[in-house]
Chains A and B, each alone.
Chain A
Amino acid sequence: MERCVHRIEVHYTADPRLKTRTSRIRSLGFPIDGLHLIDVYTIAMQTRDFSGEELADIGTQLINPVVQKFLIDTPTRIPFDYAIEVGFLPGVTDNVGTTARQTIEDFFSLKFIEGEGVYTSQLFLVCGTLSSRELGKLASTLANPLVNRVHIRTRAEYGDKGMEAVVPVVHLHEMTSADIVDLDIDDTDLARMGKEGIYDSSTGLRRGPLALDLAQLHAIRDYFDAEMRWPTDIELESLAQTWSEHCKHTIFASAMDDDLPRGLYKTCIQDATNKIRAEKGDKDICVTVFTDNSGSIIFDDTWLVTHKVETHNSPSALDPFGGALTGIVGVNRDTIGFGLGAKPCINFYGYCVGDPDTDPALFRGRNKTNPILSPRQILEGVVRGVGVGGNCSGIPTPQGWCWFDERYGGKPLVFAGTVGVMPLEHAGRKLYEKAALPGDLIVVAGGRVGKDGIHGATFSSEALDPASPVTAVQIGDPITQKKLSDVIVKEARDQELYRSITDNGAGGISCSVAEMAKECNGCHVYLDKVPLKYHGMAPWEIWISESQERMTLAVPPEKLTALMNLMQSREVEATVIGKFTDSGKCVVEWHGNVVMDIALDFLHDGLPKKHLKTAYTKKTHPEPDSVCPDRLDLLLRSMLGRKNLCSKEFISIQYDHTVQGGHVLGPVQGAGRVQAAATLTKVVPGSKKGVGLSQGLFPSYAEIDPYRMAGAAIDTAIRGLIAIGVPLDTIAILDNFCWCSSDEPERLGQLKRAAQGCYDYAVAFGTPFISGKDSMYNDFSGFDADDNPVKISVPPTLLISSIGIHADVTKAVSMDAKIEGDLVYVIGDTTEELGGSEYFALLGGTGNTVPGLDAVMVKARYGRLTEAISHELVASAFPVSHGGLGTALAKVAIAGQRGMDITIPAAMRPDLYLFSESLGRFVVTVAPDHKREFERYCGTDARILGRVGGRNLRITSEKLLVDTPVAELENAYKAPFRGY
């Protein structure tokens, strides 16, 4: 039967979205007079057609007739000048289309077959006069060419026919067998294969990066020499995935210089944790560290909590929305895949992007081809992506931050983290332990496999360049994952229907199955059983595809029927694709032919060891040349308005941070709604305890002193939690290194110093690392508008995330000044440490003195403050961080909507005193009747600065420095991102 295609257009009778959408488009510089939005459903059928009446029924199912109307196969009568239709490219996830299809199937009790479907698009009807250049540019702000198709028509072209019905179906040339790859080629060709991929004789193209270097390719050649055969393409692709920097962290694993033969990870991260755990003895808080998909610590006697922070940088550079969305739902799976399945209970985000007020106009290709997205497009896309992921999954997202630096303009960093909660035991079974046994069936559950995300793991191990593959882009489907997560964590786990589980992330099933196969020493996969989104995929593509929303389970044969019945009743697709064995091999069959047969030992441990050499040259940076103005009012307002210090509340409020009912201290605090440094969330109903989260990140210190940068990040992550009342001995930390040009010895020298800082400060504080991740090539290589080559590298960036357990959340402390007359203290000393500070950046300099840290001293201080908080002696507490004491005081005042009268010591230049970023400090407010008792705990290093009161923030030294209404400070703090 011919394909029958129908187009249903849905519009509001009075669209509530138009006002903000129109003004947004105008604010981007397009002089439009009006706008109409139309949701389009294109229905393509093969086995049957729908009658007019049936189509009307379908239309009714897709709208609310109170406020919406629909048209079937009829052009709109709404007046307009230009029509821009934005749909998806073939193969891109279309969640609304899937829901519409399910609704139609349910209504008519039928099932769509392959080739039938519902495809959604959005039609923007624009009124006004735009040049064709403006029109094209408007379309490009509405669509991303890597995932969207765009059709533009003027009113005349639209005529009385309307837009064409487009069915974006995937057509693949059949390439459904494994190829043999000849490795007996010279080193130049071998290196090219590693860099650009296997040559595909049928298309004449390279298949995309393997990211294997010559030494690795030689090791592979030697292995297959001994096997007396050449590898298949799937074997080579599989090795490339498993050995990728992304999966094996070769830089952290390699020997470094003469002093670190065991490499950075073992020496600086793992050893720190081992030493801390040994020293803590009975008080060790770790449950599982480094070995599982997340790290975990004890919550109480019956529960544990997990934490994991991932990055999704390269995909977010290409498609910010899809990249960030898959980033957050991906790290959710690291929670579901922890032990036998933890429940995701808190999401966490962090974005490093270029200044959104700039548009660097850079290109991946010559002749202004393949432009990169502007920082603003990237920011808005990633903000939306993480929001949709968390909101749709019912996971609160209270905690996060945003950092701006022009060096993130070529490639952004997108951090996504998830905390999970799980009982330690269920029915006598330890839920944090798992192991597949030989004979267990390999079951893949969740979404289907398409070409999306192919070469994600190897791609993120290479710097972004013109040849970056577009198949790396994928869009998540959070509802499919929500169904999968619910059935696993809330049902199948406690029914004991599987013995082991892991998520499918980088490398897809090639990595998840091979990883689980280590537990029993072998696997045998029937690749043709894997359910596909569309036919025509080659076996190697199926094996390494990173299509989202899939978990791999090891199911005992006697549990299979129960598991499959449960999955079916929850409408989660699950398929047996093979079995675990003890053969010592990873064997893959494709329609009866063995296409992969590699020893597990070689797959996991065969990659040649490297010995990295580092170099480090201490650079000297110019000190800014400035004098202190007489009054600092203007300066303080400028500081509060700096993008790295001001309010990004527009992000916090579009993320649901209250679902699951655990909100205690949220992303913004106080009547003045200021973004806090830490959040506190209850994750176990009925328990007094809560989970505190905070973080530290100081990329502006990196080029000056990477060792101290690590100290600043660790101290800040810890101090955020101390301020809300989380005791130090419950805190664990996570490391995320996002480096650049990691093939350069100088960059490795910075890395080494930062990692050594991690060891020293973590051990000094006694806070173990429980999980970590690194991303080593965050560089952009391309061209400017004049075809000059441009390379932009991110500054070496270390994120330390902290997690700690609050013993009694009713004693938690928020940041806002509360009551008139309360005393204002600063705890900790301030010295002239402004290298890399926000103040020096404001002055246009860098400086050389990055804050140092006496961890032993501040550790004692933190213990005393924890005591004071546990005795409920502190009314508010806020850690002094980026922007120094001046901005901290202002934020505490704004949050409380109360003035303060402050006197600072005269020993230092006042501007330097107020904006120095010395570590280890807090601003606290204390009720007058608690003064004596508070000082009994904290008096040694707490200094009274003044009192809460009035409407102004007044700061005096030898003379009056600042006297500004809190309302004006609030305006300075909130103005920069108004309109976002």
Chain B
Amino acid sequence: MTLDARIAPRATGATQRSTLAMIGEKALILSGFGINSEMETQEALIRAGMEADIVHINDLIAGRNRLPDYRLLVFPGGFSYGDDTGAGNAYANRVRNNLWDDLLEFLDGDNLVLGICNGFQILANLGLVPSFDRRYAREIALMPNRIGRLECRYVSIKPAADNLWTRGIERLYCPVAHGEGNLSCSPEILLRLKRQKQIAFTYCREDLSPAYGEYPWNPNGSVEDIAGITSADGKVLGLMPHPERAMEFVNLYDWPLRKEEMRRNGVSLPTESMNMLLFRNAVEYFR
């Protein structure tokens, strides 16, 4: 058979639609200038039941796409502007200098915003988290990791608050891959974050006991093991680890061992990983 004859009629990205019905609302995933996790983030949302458009930030600025058409805005992971002038800073400047009014309007509506890794760094620089009083001042910083360079490894995180993002989650187990994830803020801000239950996720050990700042469970030196925080109203989540990179059981670091254990205990293998719960929670909000 020739190669021609072997080519299937239509080549498309084989995306697995959710078994649940897709909800009517749509997500906007920003891209451009070195954002790089937009495709897997789109895949995760579609699998969770929400259509998602990848939109270049310049198309949003030029009005080719409109923010009011969407209910969930995602700043995905990446290396926007190569982390130059501080991770997320230059992209945040681009947003603030060009999209600020649209963004404020979006935040005033019944909408959600999710920032993962570089997206969290952008949210922090925009002041969208912790956003105590909607003045959107920068209150936290994601500083260089304590070991002084980017590190990629799987970490465990657990919910530290009960909110729309963390519902039903016991543990997420997914990669970090960042050079600047070391959350730092003043003692007053930290106290407020804790009192107002805005710490969404913390780094922990596999048995869910706290990391207590210890490397490698806390991979970057983040204060109080913080891995993710929400805005005061809970509608904006910034998270350093990447649940969208480990959507499936076979994406988990320890899956080969777990598979052997499950087989011998007569447990059938899951397809999806626990990390999908985060995206399902976001989609569930609109259902």
Contact = CB atoms under 8 A, between A and B. Distances in A.
Contacts of B6: 298, 301
27 contacts: A12-B143, A63-B85, A64-B124, A64-B125, A66-B139, A68-B86, A68-B141, A98-B84, A99-B90, A106-B93, A298-B6, A301-B6, A302-B12, A303-B11, A391-B79, A425-B11, A426-B11, A479-B79, A479-B81, A479-B82, A654-B149, A658-B242, A659-B77, A661-B251, A670-B257, A810-B249, A810-B269
A486 B260 contact: no
Interface stretch (B26-34, B157-165, B225-233): B26-34
B138 interface: yes
Nearest to A815: B256
Contacts of A658: 152, 175, 177, 242, 245-246, 251
A664 B221 contact: no
Interface stretch (B37-45, B101-109, B278-286): B37-45
B47 to A, nearest CB: 9
B115 to A, nearest CB: 15
Contacts of B90: 99, 102-103
A131 interface: no
Interface string A86-111: 00000000011011101100110000
Nearest to A105: B97
Contacts of A287: 3
Nearest to A120: B84
A816 B148 contact: no
Interface in A672-689: 682, 684-687
Nearest to A655: B152
Contact of B85 (A99, A663, A666): A99
Interface in B1-40: 1, 3, 6-8, 10-16, 31-34, 36-37, 39-40
Contact of A686 (B14, B244, B246, B249): B14
Given A16-B221, A20-B148, A657-B152, A685 B13 contact: yes
Contacts of B40: 659-661, 685
A303 B261 CA distance: 34
Nearest to A62: B85
Interface residues of B, number: 82
A66 B138 contact: yes
B211 to A, nearest CB: 17
A671 B144 contact: no
Contacts of B202: none
Interface in A27-85: 61-68
B99 to A, nearest CB: 12
A520 interface: no
A626 interface: no
Interface in A259-306: 282, 287, 298, 301-303
Given A16-B145, A103-B85, A426-B11, 14 more contacts: A20-B147, A21-B148, A99-B85, A99-B90, A302-B12, A392-B79, A393-B79, A423-B11, A483-B32, A569-B62, A653-B152, A663-B253, A684-B14, A686-B16
A927 B150 contact: no
Given A67-B141, A479-B33, A686-B15, A391 B150 contact: yes
A302 B10 contact: yes
A569 B14 contact: no
Contacts of A106: 93-94, 97-98
Which of A66, A68, A662 counts the most chain B CB atoms within 10 A?
Answer: A66
A665 B256 contact: yes
A719 interface: no
Contacts of B250: 664, 682, 809-810, 812
B198 interface: no
A96 to B, nearest CB: 4
Contacts of A423: 11-12
B182 to A, nearest CB: 6
B136 to A, nearest CB: 13
Interface of A: 12, 14, 16-17, 19-21, 61-68, 95-96, 98-100, 102-103, 106-107, 282, 287, 298, 301-303, 387, 391-394, 423-426, 430, 478-479, 482-483, 486, 569-571, 653-666, 669-671, 682, 684-687, 809-810, 812-814, 816, 818-819, 872, 875-876, 896, 927, 929
Given A303-B11, A659-B245, A570 B152 contact: no
Nearest to B179: A391
A666 B93 CA distance: 36
A882 to B, nearest CB: 23
A301 B8 contact: yes
A768 to B, nearest CB: 14
Contacts of A816: 256-257
A17 B84 CA distance: 16
B140 interface: yes
A66 B93 CA distance: 16
Contacts of B247: 661
A66 B184 contact: yes
Q: Is the interface of A mostly helix, strand, loop or mixed?
A: mixed
A872 B260 CA distance: 10
Nearest to A98: B84
Contacts of A64: 86, 89, 124-125, 138, 141
B170 interface: no
B59 interface: yes
Nearest to B54: A490
B56 interface: yes
A684 B175 CA distance: 19
Contacts of B249: 810
B152 A654 contact: yes
A810 B268 CA distance: 12
Contacts of A14: 184
A755 B261 CA distance: 46
B223 to A, nearest CB: 11
B39 to A, nearest CB: 7
A660 B244 CA distance: 9
Contacts of A661: 37, 40, 43, 244-247, 251
Nearest to B139: A66
A257 B259 CA distance: 56
A64 B85 CA distance: 9
Interface in B69-94: 77-79, 81-86, 89-90, 93-94
Contacts of B135: none
A449 B150 CA distance: 31
B216 to A, nearest CB: 9
B7 A666 contact: no
Interface string B203-233: 0000000000000000001000000000000
Nearest to B147: A20
Contact of A927 (B8, B36, B260): B260
Contacts of A68: 86, 141
Contacts of A814: 256-257
A301 B3 contact: no
A656 B34 CA distance: 15
A65 B43 contact: no
A677 to B, nearest CB: 15
Contacts of B138: 64-66
A387 B179 CA distance: 12
A16 B223 CA distance: 12
B260 A819 contact: yes
Nearest to B37: A659
B43 to A, nearest CB: 5
A60 B175 CA distance: 32
Q: Which 3 residue pairs of A and B lie closest in terms of their CB atoms, listed nearest first?
A: A394-B36, A423-B11, A686-B14
Nearest to B76: A394
Contacts of B221: 16
Contacts of A671: 254, 257
B58 A570 contact: yes
A659 B177 contact: yes
Contacts of B150: 387, 391, 654, 656
A810 B263 CA distance: 12
Contacts of B14: 302, 684-687
A430 B4 CA distance: 9
B245 A663 contact: yes
